[in-house]
Structure 1
């Protein structure tokens, strides 16, 4: 335990006064004890030198000298040889105090310099670590941008090469289906064909949404009103599935954004939550204002929570990867589109999930 400065000074004073009292109160016919007490003065001098450096060592030596000189003059004055020896001892007190204090002070300065160097190295390490994390994040964004760019180019070709034939196939299947009754196997095959063309058409539409530029005009958008409308539109779907759907929208300012794109992003999250939740479960949508914290400025946070089966930890890193899906018949593009919309508005999206207990998506948008 490191003693405070006042405690150290008090301890030194007790040492010096105690040794001086022993000197003055011990009879002169006990020279061995006086020699012992004389040597004991080195303890407070060396301690002061270690604790307070050059000034501490010299200052304590001077105090000891002042207290010891009267004893030498008045009690040992009748013995000149001993008196000379005592004065030489006093001189040695000051030499020891000065040298020890000087060396201790230099050592303390060196230790402080090493500590400052260590702190500078630690700050440099933290800075480099932060820069490395930033570079890794930028590289990941570049890789994602490259993937999205490739998807955009491919989606443009798909729109031309697939969408028109899909319409023709679906129209032909509907015409052929009218020639058969619902119980006929050919009727069932044509139903499957129509459903599959619809699914393929949804994939093409998702590709188009992914390729569509997101730099449109941004206007003031009331998120609370938009979320209320989306929840109202999905209440019938939630009721049909036996799922409770609720909205909690507190006071929140408007944000600058593309109203239709933001609606699409939040609709994707709500639909995903409903599809991931079984009968008897709940989906909760919340809107709240979040104050500035750390490097994050003030903004609006939208959370969509479900009580579904959750997402396996091994799959969370892939959840925003194109074509990755855990849903049967899913395209794996819904969350990619949602992430792109949120980031285009200067926001962030993340998720928290625990297998068997549900998932929460958190969207933060600047105000």
Structure 2
């Protein structure tokens, strides 16, 4: 018999007056899974976290944690009874308490506090820091204390609200990998809210891209990055450009290359249905060529690589990632082509349909 889900959201909804913040979210987490809720400001990710924690009351739907109903018909457990650990943006440590006292704050009175605190600090590599105060710690150390405090009571679920946003870039990158290792060492189930694409890539086992209160796409970081369901997911989770495309015999053709025409697509293609292809900067290559199909109009230096902006004959532009050892001047005419092993992803009406034959009947119908 399979273990119950660590978290189940069913039809979760919340509005603030006329603004819909969360619109019928359905979601489940396996025990030990780390989920990143990713999206822009106002997409509903933080409200979803607050509904799970019990800080806000849903208008509809249910919340189950470790197969226990904490919100639903006739049930609304208070936050302190939900067995949830919270890690906030700033760590939210008590400045007048020592590290050990902060970690012990949420523990039951009858617990072996000293042993639990020592174990939690050992887990986050802060042994010997128990008598220090928050102002004596670096930002990264403060966040690790906050994580130790959240883990100490052995909660069923850890909730993290943009826990690395106040840290500098190098510390942020280091700490999120440390936090992932700590969570995995405890087999802890966690939900992390973030607007940082790199954070979602590195931290999450799965990523839920949110837009206007709904989950736009849910999947592994690799799945969402390489096979985005929608234009929004493609552009928010990575860098993406979209170009017009058309049918040319048995190929789907664009200004930068072609891909085989999907066997399940209608042929000939209806003239009133616009086709596009999605390309990411790492999907394309450029080489100087006086008869090339593009002109370099801008270059962005990003250390290990350059991002070239190339204008095509249609006046559309694509971004191309090249090694920092490649030097191409602005104004140079170049040939733009797909890199070997990369594919051009077809889009129709803002949605990717490469692996969605169930939509073809709808697309084949006359436009109204």
The TM-score normalised by the length of structure 1 is: 0.18
From the CA coordinates, give the structure whose radius of gyration is larger.
1
Q: Which has the higher contact order (CA 8 A, sep 6+)?
A: 2
* Larger helix share, 1 or 2: 1
